[in-house]
A and B are shown apart, each in its own frame.
Chain A
Amino acid sequence: MSRDERNTWIFGVVAIIAYAAYVIVIISRADGGPISAVDYVAPLLWSVGLAILANIVANIVLGILASIASGKEAMIKDQRDREIFRRSEYIGQSFVIAGAVAALLMAMAQWEYFWIANVIYLAFVLSAVLSATARIIAYRKGFPWE
């Protein structure tokens, strides 16, 4: 497994776990009341911050373990890695655009900040998961959608 494929697994798994933890915290804080009344800002920032930190730590730790196991090759990034990254990011962008459009319409309709912030966060997570999935498929199967 190349360095970028390994990092993609970490990226996708961390994004799912961080978002799931955030949703659990929000639901538990609602405690039967209206969910939009929950103070979501701190949990959201913690979720994003810890996800970034977990990504960095996991990349370093697994990178060291991989280089011990398979030497210098575990750290090489080549043209195929760059192509796969570029194409998968392009696919993931669709959710960012969908989230931005949804947030724009919600703001125009004067929805509560809670829903606007959360639809944007959900779009970022879905974008991350979709691009990570596309990247892993590209590593394993090539580019079957092209």
Chain B
Amino acid sequence: MGVKPTRVSNSIRALRFAHGEMTQADLAQRVGVTRQTIIAIEQGRYSPSLEMAFQIARVFQVPLDDVFQYGTSEGESS
């Protein structure tokens, strides 16, 4: 069974590296979730709640749109 990605894509991985190569564990600790949850979000296996999405954006000090993008059609990100 293949992994079905959510239609929400994200730039967390790039943002982590742009912020001093922040580790997944560091980000998880700052957001208050497990490292597995950060991994699942990065890989598109889990769409976080709006509140968690804002918390992640706040860690990187960027607008929500810079972290998460929503596909306009199947497999396409805006």
List A residues at the B interface (Cβ < 8 Å).
1-2, 5, 73, 76, 78-81, 137, 139, 141-144
**Which residues of the other chain, B, contact A80 by a CB distance below 8 angstroms?**
33-34, 36-37, 40, 46, 48
CA distance A139 to B6 in the complex (A): 14
**Are A73 and B25 closer than 8 Å at their CB atoms?**
yes
Q: Is the interface of B mostly helix, strand, loop or mixed?
A: loop
Interface residues on B, range: 20 to 34
**Are B1 and A73 closer than 8 Å at their CB atoms?**
no
Closest partner residue, chain A, to B29 (CB atom): A73
**13 intermolecular pairs with C-beta atoms under 8 Å apart:** A76-B33, A79-B49, A80-B34, A80-B36, A80-B40, A137-B1, A141-B1, A141-B3, A141-B4, A142-B4, A142-B40, A142-B45, A144-B1
